[in-house]
Amino acid sequence: MAGASGPYALLFRVVLARLDPETAHRLAALVIRALPWIGVGAVLARTGRPHPSLAVRTLGLEFPSPFGLAAGFDKDATMVRGLAQSGFGHVEVGTVTALPQPGNPRPRLFRLIPDRAVVNRMGFNNRGAEAAARRLERLRRRRGPHPIVGVNIGKSRVVAVEDAIADYRTSAARLAPLADYLVVNVSSPNTPGLRGLQELDRLAPLLEAVRDEAGATPVLVKIAPDLADDEVRRIARLVTELDLAGVIATNTTLSREGLRTDPAVVAAAGEGGLSGAPLASRSLAVLRVLRAELPPEACVISVGGVTTAADAAERLRAGATLVQGYTAYLYEGPLWARRLVRGLPAALAGGSAS
């Protein structure tokens, strides 16, 4: 496992890879939530401060580094402090829906280890907007500096697509005042009908409604990698017309092309979105399309297949304002973000840091 520390690579091979992925995630969540309480998180935060040159000003905020955690890992905003102490410059929580929902039946999360990828069909399992809001309120009440927190919102499964606008507005009204930025997720493949909301005639009124509900909180839209380039350009133009803050590109893909994993293993995983290293090429391509279409001040957050400092530096050079990762966290271990951010200045300068 290139990049991961020796002890974690051994732990992954011997223990974690044998566990059900969702069970392994729950165990990791327990450790991350404990970091602020046992003092380890404070030590990590003090000794892992990003180089001042990495600070980014966007969305009306000062990000300590451009690298953050994508939505999907902390669905219910229960791990924000521990994740920030682990090296992420911002944490995007969710996807949160207006109504609590259990998600799809298990098993619903599968590793494709030779590809350093994951297939998921979680189905927006979360405890709902009200529960997330209460956690964020507690976080905001704490003394001292607060981590930068984005909130990713999606459609409740039981709500018809025709009623999606009201559903998103409910989440936006409750969560926007507590978020540093708000993300409209219309690109997960695991909620029936959701990706259809990327069609302009449906997307425009939805984004306009969320923007109006969010008030002063910046709003971005998260798009799929499976869109054609012309569709990406049309969404970019819509974002500009509506004066939104920007775009997150990209979500997971339905494609299974070019995988090294045994086809029988891929088939057994079944339907769902693919994330991880195989997305890198398409995610980078979508970033370039967006950057060419959007005005310079628009925030573009690039996510998909980012593993190393060199990967993050490539996205920043291609015009990303910020960069996010997620799947590599599962393969690289708890010090991954810290290691990546530490290597980023050299990578941006043209070095080979990982």
Active-site positions read 188
The pair of structure tokens assigned to 274 is 């693919």
Q: How far is CA 323 from CA 35, 175, 304, 341, in A?
A: 24, 23, 9, 11
Q: Name the nearest CA neighbour of 239 among 200, 212, 278.
A: 200
Q: Which amino acid is present at 173?
A: A
Residue 154 bridge partners (DSSP): 97
The pair of structure tokens assigned to 93 is 């929580």
Q: Name the nearest CA neighbour of 170 among 183, 155, 157, 181.
A: 155
Contact between 148 and 66 (Cβ < 8 Å): no
Q: Name the nearest CA neighbour of 181 among 21, 268, 311, 63.
A: 63
The pair of structure tokens assigned to 259 is 């995988």
Sign of the alpha-carbon dihedral angle for 149, 152, 153, 158: negative
Q: What is the C-alpha to C-alpha distance for residues 23 and 28, in angstroms, rounded to an integer?
A: 9
Edge-first strand listing for the sheet containing 109-112? 109-112, 117-120, 273-276
